[in-house]
Amino acid sequence: METLTGIGTEDRKRLSELFRETRGTISVTDTAGILKITSTDAAKMLSRWAKKGWLSRVRRGLYVRVALESRTADIPLEDAWIIAVRLFSPCYIGGWSAAEYWDLTEQIFRTVVVLTTQKPRDRAPVIKGTGFMLYTISEKALFGIKPVWKGQVKVSVADPTRTILDMLTDPKLGGGIRPTVDIFLNYLKSENNNIQLLIDYAKQLGNGAVFKRLGFLLERYAPDQEAALNECRAQMTKGNTNLDPSLKADRLITRWRLWVPENWIDQKRRHSSSNGEN
């Protein structure tokens, strides 16, 4: 555990300049440019300040400021979203993290979901006690996002409709199909509900599995959405898909080409007189 110790006048002056000119994080490149020194000198300087407790190392070459009232540099991340932007860009905050932001869930998730064009080896890093789930997407999939401000740093977050789309693409981004459905139902009741936009986003993404899952859920929970249901039928691709790839599925809903767990069939029988599932 690093404890704060004193620094000289010159170091204090340089630190103050860095704090004024940076937003959220301080890197070796930032330091070299701002202080007009070499990258090697910048790296040594930051390391020295971290050892004295004035900075906290996030990852190699990246630091955050330690608040003056803190007695130690061993601090949790003040805002994990800012760190995500710095480490994983191009990226955006999505999945259950975006659902929390848009008040689509009351669940508290400790891990931050980040959709990134990077292909990291470690897809579940833990940085200073904060867990991240990294999910790789293509550059063309960077749409349906909105900028939000975290202090003085602009962060991209999936808009409500894109949040739903990502969970329909891979339910693990919502914590599995059960919480994903809960979030979807909250979306349907929210002022951000826009099924046509969801259809348009799904077409833009070009993932046929989305239409199978969406059609199945709309038929079950919003059967009055006839236009959207017709769109889902028209956009379905060949082949069968699992409702949730992480769950055992033993029943095939042929009209949606969707494998679902047996208990989903039983649930439907309890709540609806609909038939035709086999």
Model confidence pLDDT, tens digit, residues 141-163: 999 999 999 888 899 999 999 99
Strand order in the sheet with 111-116: 126-127, 130-136, 111-116, 91-93, 153-158, 145-150
CA atoms of 187 and 167, how far apart (whole Å): 12
- The model's confidence at residue 277, banded by pLDDT at 50, 70 and 90, is very low
Give the number of other Cβ atoms within 10 Å of residue 183's Cβ: 25
Beta bridge partners of 258: 241, 253
Query: Which tokens hold the place of 198?
Result: 């969801």
How many percent of the chain have pLDDT more than 90? 65
Paired sense of beta strands 241-242 and 145-150, if any: unpaired
CA atoms of 26 and 49, how far apart (whole Å): 12
Sequence letter at residue 240: N
In a domain, 228, yes or no: no
Structural domain count of the chain: 1
Chain-centroid distance, C-alpha 163: 9
Select the highest-mean-pLDDT range: 15-19, 105-109, 110-114: 110-114
Average pLDDT over residues 88-93: 96
In a domain, 32, yes or no: yes
In a domain, 191, yes or no: no
In a domain, 20, yes or no: yes
In a domain, 168, yes or no: no
In a domain, 19, yes or no: yes
Query: Which tokens hold the place of 194?
Result: 């826009």
Write out the residue range of the structural domain in which residue 41 sits. 9-65
Average pLDDT over residues 73-95: 83
In a domain, 43, yes or no: yes
- Which pLDDT value is given to residue 274? 42
Q: What does the DSSP assignment read for 200-227?
A: HHHHHHT-HHHHHHHHHHHHHH-TT-HH
Computed over its alpha carbons, how large is the radius of gyration of the chain? 23
In a domain, 248, yes or no: no
pLDDT of 72 > 60? The answer is no
CATH number of the domain that residue 31 is part of: 1.10.10.10
CA atoms of 217 and 209, how far apart (whole Å): 12
Residue pair 168/187 in contact (Cβ under 8 Å)? The answer is no
Chain-centroid distance, C-alpha 107: 15
